[in-house]
Amino acid sequence: MNGHGEDQLVFEIALVVPKRKLKEGDDEDSDCVKVLIDELKKEGLVVDKVLGVTDEFIKVAAPLEILGRAAAELQMKKRTQIGMDLQFEWEEVKAFLRQPDGSLFSWCERYQCYRHLIYGIVNWSKSVVTLKCDGKELHWKVGESLLQKLESEGIIKQVFPLHDEITRKKLLRNWALNWWDLTRQPIDEIYLYFGLKIAVYFSFLGMYTRWLLFPAGFGLILQLIDFGSLQLLVLPVFFISIILWAVLFFQFWKRKNSALLARLQIDNPVGTSQVYKFLGMEWGSQQSPLEHVKGPRTDKTKEKEAFQRYEWFGYLLRFRNDALIILSIICLQLPFELAYAHLYEIIGSDVMKFGLTAIYLFVIQYFTKIGGKVSVKLIKNENNDNTEYRADSLVYKVFGLYFMQSYIGIFYHALLHRNILTLRQVLIQRLIISEVVENLLENSLPYFKYSYKKYGVRKKKKRENGSSTGKILFTSRVEKEYLKPTYSASIGEELEDGLFDDFLELALQFGMIMMFACAFPLAFAFAAVNNLTEIRTDALKLLVMFKRPVPRSAATIGAWLNIFQFLIVMSICTNSALLVCLYDKEGKWKIEPGLAAILTMEHVLLLIKFGFSRFVPEEPAWVRANRMKNATQAQDVCSKQLLRSISCGQRVFSGLRRLSEERDFDSFSSNSAEQEVGGDAFPRS
Amino acid sequence: MNGHGEDQLVFEIALVVPKRKLKEGDDEDSDCVKVLIDELKKEGLVVDKVLGVTDEFIKVAAPLEILGRAAAELQMKKRTQIGMDLQFEWEEVKAFLRQPDGSLFSWCERYQCYRHLIYGIVNWSKSVVTLKCDGKELHWKVGESLLQKLESEGIIKQVFPLHDEITRKKLLRNWALNWWDLTRQPIDEIYLYFGLKIAVYFSFLGMYTRWLLFPAGFGLILQLIDFGSLQLLVLPVFFISIILWAVLFFQFWKRKNSALLARLQIDNPVGTSQVYKFLGMEWGSQQSPLEHVKGPRTDKTKEKEAFQRYEWFGYLLRFRNDALIILSIICLQLPFELAYAHLYEIIGSDVMKFGLTAIYLFVIQYFTKIGGKVSVKLIKNENNDNTEYRADSLVYKVFGLYFMQSYIGIFYHALLHRNILTLRQVLIQRLIISEVVENLLENSLPYFKYSYKKYGVRKKKKRENGSSTGKILFTSRVEKEYLKPTYSASIGEELEDGLFDDFLELALQFGMIMMFACAFPLAFAFAAVNNLTEIRTDALKLLVMFKRPVPRSAATIGAWLNIFQFLIVMSICTNSALLVCLYDKEGKWKIEPGLAAILTMEHVLLLIKFGFSRFVPEEPAWVRANRMKNATQAQDVCSKQLLRSISCGQRVFSGLRRLSEERDFDSFSSNSAEQEVGGDAFPRS
């Protein structure tokens, strides 16, 4: 297991290099791969070379101390015994809290250290080193990272995290194949193996599915029992209760999320508790975009103005981008979707309908891809403070696209045609088809990709060997993993990983069942069943189908929470409209156009009232910057002293105190005023 | 001035004792007032005795060092140079930031120190001290606070903060009488003289009035220019723009508030920045209610459960109280108000109307008093975490009462009668009368109270002297101040001060002008003019009419912000209804009862959706408790070391480092492991 025994090394990273033909006469010492392996070993890493069918694999493992030194170099912040996050020091290792399984570093931290170690191999000598590779010559310049050089030359084809076979099999048994646990999952172990973001996703999925059982049961009752004349009274009750259910669910999810984080001893950005945020890395990335603005000695008001200008310019950019996206969705996508929905309605022949749908599906594929790319480009123009914000911004924009795509047809049926039966049909179609098909695709597509890649490798190998007989076996596990696809999002690989697609699926499902709850109460039962399988298939997908994903440390579900909240508000409005349609089957209820206009205006204003506070933060940028600066300052001053006192259990402090009592303190300290303040001179205990 | 020169002492607290007749033969040393004065002097305070007409006044001032020592004893947290709040130490005074005027302590901190000093006079001797007072004998028990004893015996009639004549006059000149500054105010000076809460109020009032000028101008244009056929189109535009105005205003107020706090170097509980909250006193009060629940060695899950039980029990209590208040408002107050509004409508004769209004005004006086008392009682039953929450809870409940009282009659006219003209009349009446009368009352009532008290004192004096001639002059300033009324709220003196009434006035005005904006756009202009005078009259009231208020340190407008936000939502709904009435003068627009029911349900659900998150916090109590515990722990460990390093400019640390390098460090520190960790053994520099 990669956590339990830290003495027991596990290879966690693999580098892929193509197989090279070494000629007899070659000087093996300057072979670039040989140099790389030597350098890795020099760093203290344990290296294992595996020969695959067409590629060579360098598996890397790191002893705990090497990781610790890397973490200290990275100035990583870790939770200490006193509950504060302080900069890691290998010497004071006792002061830091352990993971639930007893290991020192989480997987995410280990991954960071690994990257730091292997990308930190730099030419420290004073001259250019000449490396050879397949007869080509490479010039490794002074101060250049070896790995980056090799990557840019195409010699290192990939660096990817490796599965840990023992833990993987244990998780497979305890989690992915443990169907009878229903919504229960070993979240701590998922966190240890996949990192926080994936653990939060599965925790959310589990809780959501568990909570879904209530409206699913209610919906089932509504479907099965005929309430006779009360039927029309039961629906509003259902409506109210599912809205309350949703509101409660998300509030309790936030609580569960912060409880989960507290249990795992992780900073909690949810709620009011950004106490420790200042000790995290966020500040570093926030500071950077402004550094060029302020010189070393600009006065305070100028700095404030610069911040203010920067802040508002950021809002302006963001506003422009949002407006662009919203406009293009309304002007381009909406007519297209409406046209499809309308054509589908008026076309009589089934063949034509089929053809139309095929074309439609083909077109929207491109549509969303283009949309995603445009969004990514727009976001890159924004001066968003950190990647987390960027990812959120992308999520909002892309969700806008999918929202239109998924629901506009349904809205068309629901509101314009007032045809509840068609609506119900469409909903059933969408729910069943989309979910069954998606679940199947999600799991089979990676497998096909994997098989195709295997086939490609075999073919290439055979061509090289010249013979077309004899089966080629992939004996090494690392090569098989290399051929598995990466867990990545369908849009914008840089900003999001595969969780984007999983969350998108959940959000679209949630919107579908909530917004049309009154038209089709049974949908909740469908969704509950689907999610029960989703938990296990998603687990299977992660454990079996994909490479081990790169860990991410997001502590909440981020932008998705806001999207879910938005869907609740939407569903209040759409269900009200649906109820009106249901009660008014003959279309007798007339609404004055004036009244309708006023009502629309009212709803828009309410939306603005509640949505606006999200766009302008309550704290000006310069205030936040000040606070952050103060906090980092404070932290810099106390970090070392604190660590020492924690790890020695307070003894050092009292020792120092007696020391200073015995000596003439003040004269001494003024003598040593020139002494450096940095920590390296501090004696290691 | 109480700030600038700290060498220049200002008497800031006064104690009032009745004049006693000392007989010749009395032992003056055991006279209680004499003893008190001696003890005060022993504490290092500067004491001045002033003889008034019927009372004696003991004025107290404190040199800076005495205050500093008291602050250290109180373990007061203060902002340091590195931006972190640390426990105050007189020895490390250089490490702490100064107030804007260069003084070390803010008025609120000084007041705390004064109280600590004068109430901290305790009988340290081993026997009961016998004191004499006007022939009576008092037994000052061991360990008892002298001041509390004297207060309970009625010998000390009052302890109140004194005005500082120089600063007061300066403020009077620069602020209260400086009408031409319009909304500009010297907020920093107000903060220094009155404390944070009052400064925040005036900052809010100033910004609100400044922002009011826009809708006031718009309203005036609407009133003056006849748009002809466009008239009905202009109103919705006005409606939308004032809602946007209000939303923007409150968002920008939050920003201004946090900017103000950053400028004054105060912790900011607004927004996300509760970073430093953990260093404040809040935790102490939050911990206490649970202390009896957990023994010293209960395990974690038990503690968690206890917290959870405590938390939910708290919500239950709060919910019950809120339900009680809401029910009683709806069942008792609503019918009463409606009955008055209806009677007023149907009664023809003006005399009867006048009589009815007189009775009504008489009755509601009692009604609100009773309501306030009931609320205070209910809140005392809640286990709210700190007084700030309690005060907020009271504000919500009492505002509910006033809301019904102020608006239900207007709603009656607006919505049931659909009579815009009557509505407009009522609004003008209310606005002009309430504001003019209230402004007058606010300032004259305290003056009359003051005069009445003066008269009472003179009468008493004359009765004592036996003669009825000769004018008695109040020569001492301190006696005049003593006779001035206290700045207190009309309800619940313990939980709120006079700001409650001022904020209530603002909130009711805001509700009035916003909720009926479409019926009477000119109201904004009225309000703007009123608020311009309100700024100066409120300032005058504080500086001239009242005793100097006890400083409070609330950093935001607290519950009032939520009330204002609620009023915005209400005004979206009421204005929509008003617009419907306006467009539909003949009452032609029919609305199906079914549709109306669905719309109502929708609005209620939207309200629940947006309101609910306020009731259940996003973080479970045990998580917060954990976090707080961690934070205080961290702070305890580092406070002293940090202070030392800040005040000595980093030199001490390097000194210590060399010291420990020279010695065999580890053996030493283990020898001194028994040394106490507390700070008193630390050498004073």
CB contact under 8 A, B580 and A601: no
Instruction: Work out the minimum CA distance from B614 to partner chain A, whole angstroms.
Output: 10
* ipTM of the prediction: 0.78
> Confidence class of residue A80 from pLDDT cuts 50, 70 and 90?
confident
Q: Which pLDDT score is estimated for A563?
A: 92
> Confidence class of residue A2 from pLDDT cuts 50, 70 and 90?
very low
Q: B425: Cβ–Cβ under 8 A, 6 or more apart, which residues?
A: none
> Confidence class of residue A390 from pLDDT cuts 50, 70 and 90?
confident
Three-class SS state of B193: helix
Query: Could you say which of A244, A248, A675 has the minimum Cβ distance to residue B658?
Result: A675
Q: In this structure, what token pair is assigned to residue B432?
A: 């002009």
Query: Could you say which of A569, A657, A671 has the minimum Cβ distance to residue B609?
Result: A569
Q: What is the pLDDT of residues A642-675, one digit of tens each?
A: 666 666 654 444 444 444 444 433 333 333 333 3
CA distances (Å), origin A5, targets A2, A9, A10, B69, B189 = 7, 8, 10, 53, 63
* A556 neighbourhood in chain B, CB within 8 Å: none
Q: On the CB side of A471, how many CA atoms lie within 13 Å of its CA?
A: 3
Cα(A456)–Cα(B668) distance, rounded to whole angstroms? 69
Q: What is the pLDDT of residues B555-587, one digit of tens each?
A: 888 889 989 999 999 999 889 888 888 887 776
Q: In this structure, what token pair is assigned to residue B330?
A: 């709806």
CB B201 within 8 Å of CB B39: no
Query: Could you say which of B605, B623, B675 has the minimum Cβ distance to residue A657?
Result: B675
Among the listed residues B285, B200, B221, B219, the one whose alpha carbon sits nearest the alpha carbon of residue B553: B200
CB contact under 8 A, A255 and B660: no
Cα(B115)–Cα(B109) distance, rounded to whole angstroms? 10
Cα(A584)–Cα(A590) distance, rounded to whole angstroms? 10
With 70 as the cut, is the pLDDT of residue B672 above it? no
CB contact under 8 A, A677 and B569: no
* B626 neighbourhood in chain A, CB within 8 Å: 83, 262
Query: Could you say which of A274, A618, A645 has the minimum Cβ distance to residue B270?
Result: A618
What is the mean pLDDT of the segment spanning B392-411? 84
Q: In this structure, what token pair is assigned to residue B105?
A: 């302590």
* B653 neighbourhood in chain A, CB within 8 Å: 641, 677
Q: In this structure, what token pair is assigned to residue B326?
A: 């809401």
Three-class SS state of B453: helix
Distance of alpha carbon A111 from the chain centroid: 15
Cα(A93)–Cα(A99) distance, rounded to whole angstroms? 13
CB contact under 8 A, B669 and A663: no
* A267 neighbourhood in chain B, CB within 8 Å: none
Among the listed residues B554, B191, B270, the one whose alpha carbon sits nearest the alpha carbon of residue B392: B554
* A683 neighbourhood in chain B, CB within 8 Å: 657, 660-661, 665
With 50 as the cut, is the pLDDT of residue B4 above it? no
CB contact under 8 A, B273 and A658: no
Three-class SS state of A8: coil
* A608 neighbourhood in chain B, CB within 8 Å: 243-244, 247
Among the listed residues A450, A482, A484, the one whose alpha carbon sits nearest the alpha carbon of residue A56: A482
Closest residue of B to A616, CA-based? Answer: B251
With 80 as the cut, is the pLDDT of residue A365 above it? no
CB A393 within 8 Å of CB A372: no
Q: Which pLDDT score is estimated for A464?
A: 74
Instruction: Work out the minimum CA distance from A271 to partner chain B, whole angstroms.
Output: 5
Q: B99: Cβ–Cβ under 8 A, 6 or more apart, which residues?
A: B3, B105, B106, B192
Average pLDDT of chain B to the nearest whole number: 78
Q: Which pLDDT score is estimated for B135?
A: 73
Cα(A50)–Cα(A36) distance, rounded to whole angstroms? 15
Among the listed residues B631, B682, B644, B275, the one whose alpha carbon sits nearest the alpha carbon of residue A637: B644
Interface test with A, best of B605, B626, B667 (most A CBs within 10 A): B605
Question: CA A288, A290, A295, A297 torsion: positive or negative?
Answer: negative
State the first-to-last Cα distance of chain A, in angstroms, to the nearest integer: 31
Closest residue of A to B671, CA-based? Answer: A655
Cα(B110)–Cα(B11) distance, rounded to whole angstroms? 12
CA distances (Å), origin A163, targets A59, A307, A500, A645, B263 = 11, 45, 22, 38, 52
Q: A197: Cβ–Cβ under 8 A, 6 or more apart, which residues?
A: A497, A499, A551, A552, A553, A554
Q: In this structure, what token pair is assigned to residue A390?
A: 């960027």
Instruction: Work out the minimum CA distance from A547 to partner chain B, whole angstroms.
Output: 35
Average pLDDT of chain A to the nearest whole number: 78
CB contact under 8 A, A675 and B682: no
With 70 as the cut, is the pLDDT of residue A323 above it? yes
Closest residue of B to A673, CA-based? Answer: B651
Instruction: Work out the minimum CA distance from A103 to partner chain B, whole angstroms.
Output: 21
Among the listed residues B664, B675, B602, the one whose alpha carbon sits nearest the alpha carbon of residue A236: B602
DSSP letter assigned to residue A229: G
Q: What is the pLDDT of residues B450-497, one digit of tens each?
A: 888 888 888 887 877 766 566 667 778 888 888 888 888 777 666 677
CB contact under 8 A, A602 and B629: no
Question: Three-class SS string for B9-41?
Answer: CCCCEEEEEECCCCCCCCCHHHEHHHHHHHHHH
Query: Could you say which of A272, A652, A655 has the minimum Cβ distance to residue B619?
Result: A272
Instruction: Work out the minimum CA distance from A530 to partner chain B, whole angstroms.
Output: 27
Q: Which pLDDT score is estimated for B572?
A: 92
CA distances (Å), origin B550, targets A481, A555, B534, B553 = 71, 44, 21, 10
Question: Three-class SS string for B222-237?
Answer: HHHCCCHHHHHHHHHH
Closest residue of A to B642, CA-based? Answer: A638
Interface test with B, best of A266, A641, A643, A648 (most B CBs within 10 A): A641
Instruction: Work out the minimum CA distance from A83 to partner chain B, whole angstroms.
Output: 5
Closest residue of B to A652, CA-based? Answer: B669
CB B133 within 8 Å of CB B19: no
Instruction: Work out the minimum CA distance from B180 to partner chain A, whole angstroms.
Output: 27
Helix-then-strand count for chain A, H and E? 22, 8
CB B581 within 8 Å of CB B521: no
Q: Which pLDDT score is estimated for A493?
A: 67
What is the mean pLDDT of the segment spanning A414-429? 76
CA distances (Å), origin A30, targets A37, A48, A137, B682 = 11, 19, 10, 61
Residue type, A375: S
CB contact under 8 A, B675 and A658: yes
Q: Which pLDDT score is estimated for A628?
A: 72
With 90 as the cut, is the pLDDT of residue B202 above it? yes
CB contact under 8 A, A576 and B591: no
Residue type, A246: A
What is the mean pLDDT of the segment spanning B142-153? 86
Ordered alpha helix ranges (H), B331-419: 334-346, 350-381, 387-411
Instruction: Work out the minimum CA distance from A676 to partner chain B, whole angstroms.
Output: 7
Instruction: Work out the minimum CA distance from B644 to partner chain A, whole angstroms.
Output: 11
Among the listed residues A100, A31, A104, the one whose alpha carbon sits nearest the alpha carbon of residue A62: A104
What is the mean pLDDT of the segment spanning A178-203? 90
Higher per-residue confidence, A95 vs A527: A527
Closest residue of B to A254, CA-based? Answer: B618
Cα(A617)–Cα(B272) distance, rounded to whole angstroms? 9
Q: In this structure, what token pair is assigned to residue A661?
A: 């009592």
Instruction: Work out the minimum CA distance from B33 to partner chain A, whole angstroms.
Output: 44
> pTM for the full model?
0.82
What is the mean pLDDT of the segment spanning B95-104? 83
Among the listed residues B442, B440, B570, the one whose alpha carbon sits nearest the alpha carbon of residue B512: B570
Instruction: Work out the minimum CA distance from B538 to partner chain A, whole angstroms.
Output: 28
Q: In this structure, what token pair is assigned to residue A566?
A: 């938005």
Q: In this structure, what token pair is assigned to residue B325?
A: 């208040």
Beta-carbon pairs below 8 A across chains A and B: 313
Cα(A278)–Cα(A261) distance, rounded to whole angstroms? 17
Place of tokens 């802040």: A311
Closest residue of B to A249, CA-based? Answer: B613
With 50 as the cut, is the pLDDT of residue B289 above it? no
Q: In this structure, what token pair is assigned to residue A488?
A: 């990545």
Q: Which helix (H) or strand (E) holds A87?
A: strand A85-87
Backbone angles phi, psi at B16, to 5 degrees: -110, 125
Residue type, A172: L
CB contact under 8 A, A620 and B682: no
CB contact under 8 A, A606 and B682: no
Q: Which residues of A647-679 are buried (b: 16+ CB within 10 A; e: fewer)?
A: bbeebbbbbbbbbbeebebeebbeebeebeeee
Q: In the β-sheet with B13-18, what is the strand arrangement from edge to edge?
A: B46-51, B55-61, B13-18, B158-161
Question: CA A439, A441, A446, A447 torsion: positive or negative?
Answer: positive
What are the beta bridge partners of residue B49?
B58
Residue type, B641: Q
Q: Which pLDDT score is estimated for B495?
A: 66
Query: Could you say which of B259, B645, B672 has the minimum Cβ distance to residue A654?
Result: B672
With 80 as the cut, is the pLDDT of residue A577 above it? yes
Q: Which pLDDT score is estimated for A643?
A: 67
Least confident of A122-126, B203-207, B211-215, B325-329: A122-126
CB B50 within 8 Å of CB B479: yes
Question: CA A410, A413, A416, A419 torsion: positive or negative?
Answer: negative
Q: Which pLDDT score is estimated for B219?
A: 92
Query: Could you say which of A270, A595, A622 has the minimum Cβ distance to residue B619?
Result: A270
CB contact under 8 A, B656 and A653: no
Instruction: Work out the minimum CA distance from A307 to partner chain B, whole angstroms.
Output: 13
Residues in chain B: 685
CB contact under 8 A, B258 and A623: yes
Closest residue of B to A232, CA-based? Answer: B594
DSSP letter assigned to residue B281: S
Residues in chain A: 685
CB contact under 8 A, B669 and A676: no
Q: B300: Cβ–Cβ under 8 A, 6 or more apart, which residues?
A: none
Q: Which pLDDT score is estimated for A666?
A: 39
Q: In this structure, what token pair is assigned to residue A79?
A: 């939770």
